Chain A
């Protein structure tokens, strides 16, 4: 098993994104550190557009995440609906 992670700035815009990641990835571990939030998860993290839209009540373009993204690990697969981080091994 390998861990992937995504780190976001801790601010108003990322609060619903983090909540969406927690909802969609039950195994995700959320670490709050000064000014940032690092989310670790075994093998895979999925960020789903629809979940974020439900939480914020407006359309959301997944590429908007780049404004508050700090770092990530794993292979990335991005579509209009999902941004997935994963390892193959």
Chain B
């Protein structure tokens, strides 16, 4: 007689979730729980009942594979169609590709680090619910790294600067900014990692990257980026619910957790905000067809959305992140300050920079009525005039970097955009430098961590960024050329001004061939 396998009734969402998560968990027998999960107590977070944690999406592994595989099929169909159709010639302007180079070198490797981080966090938690959710997020992040590399590698066949992102991440000066952000998070404890990445980054900040910027990629004809971007962000929607849920869960478990979590929120909002400077520049300067200004995106996704979130969390005794006044003032400034930095250091980067056209300057004036014409337009126009006379400005003096965010100290004083902001701290007989009160405060709380930062400029000056076997004492030694060799940046192809670059010439020639019978 056949055994009856079940009642025949389909399980409801909540019932299925319970069977497929909690009931697959087991108690340890020959090892103590503490030995199996050694990291769970060392940050001081107190959890009394792991079962109180619930995944609001109630996603189980079987449903996860089903929907993810459907997303993958759609994604690869579009990526292939885009590649088969020479879609790279349909972007608005080859300048756009430089934003995508930044994406490939600066952002995609973070996905891979997020994959590793969530795998570690999932391993560290004793509760079955967060473990399963972290496992899925870890898989998602690995998928994002892969799909981004697959989508963007299509450009590598035709354009410069895409050839070695993994190598560059460990070496190139500005890539230490995003890299140090994730290195900081994965070397924290599991709860801090969840607040840093699961909450602060996913909930408050990824929207700015994957919603308006990716919508902007679509606007500029880049189907590949649109598709991986939205496909990734559909996972982010789940990640945000995980981030919010983990915060609520930690805060509800014990009042002692509140000040610890508050400090992490302050720290990671500030660190995340600093990293997003890159995205502000991509939106305001690198999308030939602009979708909205950085300031507008900030107002929608940080001020409106994040504001609602912090109003909601107030009932736990959580206040909005520190330094919000300065953040709010800075929205008129940071994208311009960042572009000016990359324009000056365009000989040491792996992508091209350029002088904005009149039309673009006018757009920036309109979007930034309180700051652009007064502080930034004159400088950009001066640089353009000089470039037209053959004096394209390249700064060859290396900048002081902030010990925490690792960004060159180019940001200005709170409330005064004409004065560079410098802070310093003496620690164990050494001086450490900071771009802001936020970064200084983060250092002062954990000096033993941040005194170890690998700062590219310091390393260059110490002679640690030359190819093996370099002799800096030989006559005619050119340090910059050797540093670029160490970075795997091809001088004259991957860097310098977009005007006159190989990318510019090739794109124009190929686009011409695509629209004529020549």
Query: Would B291 and A87 count as touching, CB distance under 8 A?
Result: no
With contacts A3-B308, A35-B230, A80-B12 taken as known, whether A73 is within 8 angstroms of B240 at the C-beta atoms is yes
Bound: A78/B244 CA distance, A: 15
A73 pairs with B308, CB closer than 8 A: yes
* Pair B315/A89 contact, Cβ less than 8 Å: yes
Question: Which A62-84 residues sit within 8 Å CB-CB of chain B?
Answer: 63-64, 66-80
Given the known interface contacts A34-B215, A79-B13, A80-B12, the answer about A71 and B237 at a Cβ–Cβ threshold of 8 Å is yes
Contact yes or no, B211 A75, CB < 8 A: no
Binds A, one of B57-65, B182-190, B459-467: B57-65
Q: Are B311 and A89 in contact (CB under 8 A)?
A: yes
The answer to whether A78 touches B234, judged by C-beta atoms less than 8 angstroms apart, is no
A75 to B14 alpha-carbon distance, docked (Å): 17
Separation of A63 and B71 alpha carbons in the complex (Å): 13
Stretch from A4-12, A17-25, A50-58 that touches the partner: A4-12
Residue contact A67 to B74, C-beta cutoff 8 Å: yes
Chain A, residues 20-63, CB within 8 Å of chain B (1/0): the string is 00000000000001111010000000000000000000000001
Per the bound structure, the CA–CA distance linking A67 and B275 in Å amounts to 29
Q: Tell me, rounded to whole Å, the shortest Cβ–Cβ distance linking B126 to chain A.
A: 24
When distances are taken between beta carbons in the complex, the residues of chain A under 8 Å from B474 are none
Q: Which of B67, B214, B236, B315 has the most CB of A within 10 A?
A: B67
Q: How far is the CB of B310 from chain A (nearest CB, A)?
A: 9
Q: Write out, one digit per residue, whether chain B residues 25-65 have a CB within 8 A of any chain A CB (1) or not (0).
A: 00000000000000000000000000000001111000100
Interface residue B207 (Cβ < 8 Å from any Cβ of A): yes
Main secondary structure of the interface of B (DSSP, over half): helix
Determine whether B309 belongs to the interface, using a CB cutoff of 8 Å to chain A. Answer: yes
CA distance in complex: A76, B238 (Å): 10
CB of A11 to closest CB in B, whole Å = 9
Known: A2-B312, A7-B211, A33-B215. A72 touches B291 (CB 8 A): no
Q: Choose among B13, B234, B314 the residue that contacts A70 (Cβ–Cβ < 8 A).
A: B234
**A3-B304, A87-B312 in contact; A70/B230 too (CB < 8 A)?**
yes
B242 CB to nearest chain A CB (Å): 10
Residues from chain A with a CB closer than 8 A to the CB of B244 are: 75
| Known contacts A35-B215, A64-B67; is-contact A71 B312 (Cβ 8 Å) | no
Among B67, B212, B214, B230, the residue within 8 A (CB) of A63 is B67
Tell me the total A-B contact number using a CB cutoff of 8 A.
98
B309: chain A residues at CB < 8 Å are: 73, 87
In the bound complex, residues from chain A placing their C-beta under 8 Å from that of B314 are: 89
Find A68's partner among B56, B211, B226, B234 (CB 8 Å cutoff): B234
Q: Are A34 and B216 closer than 8 Å at their CB atoms? A: yes
A36-B308 in contact given A71-B207, A71-B237 (Cβ < 8 Å): no
- Measured CB to CB, the closest approach of chain A to B248, in angstroms, equals 8
Hey, which chain B residues are within 8 Å of A72, CB to CB? 237, 240-241
Partner of B215, one of A36, A63, A68, A75: A36
Complex-state Cα separation, A70 to B240, whole angstroms? 11
Q: Indicate which residue in A5, A71, A75 contacts B236 across the interface (CB closer than 8 Å).
A: A71
B70 near A: Cβ within 8 Å?
A: yes
**Is there contact, CB below 8 Å, between A67 and B70?**
yes
Question: Known: A70-B234, A70-B237. Contact between A76 and B311, CB under 8 A?
Answer: no
What separation, in Å, do the CA atoms of A23 and B214 have in the docked complex? 28
Q: Are A33 and B234 in contact (CB under 8 A)?
A: no
Whether B56 lies near A75 (C-beta < 8 A) is: yes
The contact string, 1 if C-beta is below 8 Å from chain A, for chain B 213-225, is: 0111011000000
For residue B307, which residue of chain A has the nearest CB? A2
Q: Check if B210 is an interface residue, CB within 8 A of chain A.
A: yes
Say yes or no: A69-B315 contact (C-beta < 8 A), given A3-B304, A4-B308, A7-B211.
no
Residue pair A76, B315 in contact (C-beta under 8 Å) = no
Contacts A67-B74, A70-B230, A78-B13 given; indicate if A87 touches B207 (C-beta within 8 A): no
A4 to B244 CA separation, bound complex (whole angstroms): 14
Q: Say yes or no: A2 contacts B308, CB within 8 Å.
A: yes
**Cβ B230 vs Cβ A36 within 8 A:** yes
- Taking the closest CB of chain A, its distance from the CB of B247, in whole angstroms, is 11
- The closest CB in chain A to the CB of B235 belongs to A66
Q: Quick one: CB contact mask for B491-510 with A, threshold 8 Å, 1 for yes?
A: 00000000000000000000
Q: How far is the CA of A11 from the CA of B74 in the complex (A)?
A: 12
- Distance in angstroms from A12 CB to nearest chain B CB is 12
CA A66 to CA B56, docked complex, whole Å: 13
Quick check: is B176 within 8 A (CB to CB) of the other chain? Answer: no
Chain A nearest Cβ from B250, distance in angstroms: 15
Kindly report which residue of chain B lies nearest to residue A87, judged by CB atoms: B312
Neighbouring A residues of B212 by C-beta, 8 Å = 33
Complex Cα distance, B311 from A73, in Å, reads 13
**In the complex, which residues of chain A have a beta carbon less than 8 angstroms from the beta carbon of B138?**
none
Q: In whole angstroms, how far apart are the Cα atoms of A42 and B312 in the complex?
A: 14
The 3 residue pairs across chains A and B that have the minimum distance between CB atoms: A2-B308, A35-B218, A76-B56
For the complex with contacts A35-B215, A38-B211, A63-B63, 6 further pairs of A-B residues with Cβ separation under 8 Å are: A4-B308, A66-B57, A66-B71, A73-B305, A75-B244, A89-B315
| 17 A-B residue pairings within 8 Å (CB atoms) | A3-B305, A34-B216, A35-B218, A36-B211, A64-B67, A66-B237, A67-B70, A69-B234, A70-B211, A71-B207, A71-B210, A71-B236, A71-B237, A75-B56, A80-B13, A89-B314, A89-B315
